[in-house]
Amino acid sequence: MNKGERISRFVQAMGTGEGRAESGLMADHPYYRAYFRCWNEQHYYEAHDVLEQVWLKDTITPDDAQYFKGLIQAAGAFVHLQKQFEHPTHPKHGRRLAPAVRLFRLAEKNLAPFGPERHAFELEKFREMLSRYAQAIVESEHRTNPWTPETAPRVSLLNSNASA
């Protein structure tokens, strides 16, 4: 079974369906919805993988490719924060704050061209949150991780049942 098949089964098991929803709206795409669910369950690596499948395989506009790339990078940044939090003295995981900042900045850059909302997602608030996390790390001179399981940010789609 290849990665795409594993992700497809994972999304099906989540109950978000398979393939693009009948509406044709990105906000109803099961993989897009799964991204937000994974994020809120603090499964950032899985959120990254799920949305990467849309980015790599679906027929999307160049703007959407940049949008998904930014969301994927944001999830990747939180993978770094989560690993560093869980293993702060580990030789590899203990040094994940600088790479997290780099991904936050890349995500912000890729999401910057879009307005306050895109595909039923409050993007402006999301970008502000990414900036706050990056700034907190930079201000601590890459010594303090602002992420904890208890204070992890939640994201949701507007007018949707996609996330908790």
Q: Does this model's pTM top 0.85?
A: yes
Domain annotation covers residue 52: yes
Domain annotation covers residue 164: no
The predicted pLDDT at position 162 comes to 41
Domain annotation covers residue 82: yes
Average pLDDT score over residue span 56-69: 85
Cα dihedral across residues 47, 48, 53, 58: positive or negative: positive
Domain residue limits at 36: 3-139
What confidence category does residue 15 fall into, taking pLDDT thresholds of 50, 70 and 90? low
* pLDDT at residue 161 tops 70: no
What confidence category does residue 2 fall into, taking pLDDT thresholds of 50, 70 and 90? confident
Place of tokens 């306050």: 116
Domain annotation covers residue 24: yes
What confidence category does residue 20 fall into, taking pLDDT thresholds of 50, 70 and 90? low
Cβ burial, residue 144 (10 Å; 0-12/13-18/19+): exposed
Domain annotation covers residue 105: yes
pLDDT digits (tens, 9 = 90+) for 111-152: 999 999 999 999 999 999 999 999 999 999 999 999 999 999
The predicted pLDDT at position 58 comes to 66
Long-range contacts of residues 126-132, Cβ cutoff 8 Å, at least 24 apart? 126/74, 126/155, 129/153, 130/74, 130/77, 130/104, 131/104
Task: Specify the number of domains making up the chain.
Answer: 1
Which tokens belong to 151? 């204070």
The predicted pLDDT at position 17 comes to 52
What confidence category does residue 54 fall into, taking pLDDT thresholds of 50, 70 and 90? confident
Question: Measured between alpha carbons, how far is 48 from 25 in angstroms, rounded to an integer?
Answer: 20
Domain annotation covers residue 102: yes
Which tokens belong to 78? 């939180």
pLDDT digits (tens, 9 = 90+) for 26-38: 888 899 999 999 9
CATH number, residue 82: 1.10.3450.10
* pLDDT at residue 163 tops 60: no
* pLDDT at residue 106 tops 70: yes
Are the C-beta atoms of 32 and 75 separated by less than 8 Å?
no
What confidence category does residue 164 fall into, taking pLDDT thresholds of 50, 70 and 90? very low
Domain annotation covers residue 161: no
Place of tokens 């991204």: 35
Place of tokens 């993978």: 79
Domain annotation covers residue 151: no
Mean pLDDT (the chain, rounded)? 88
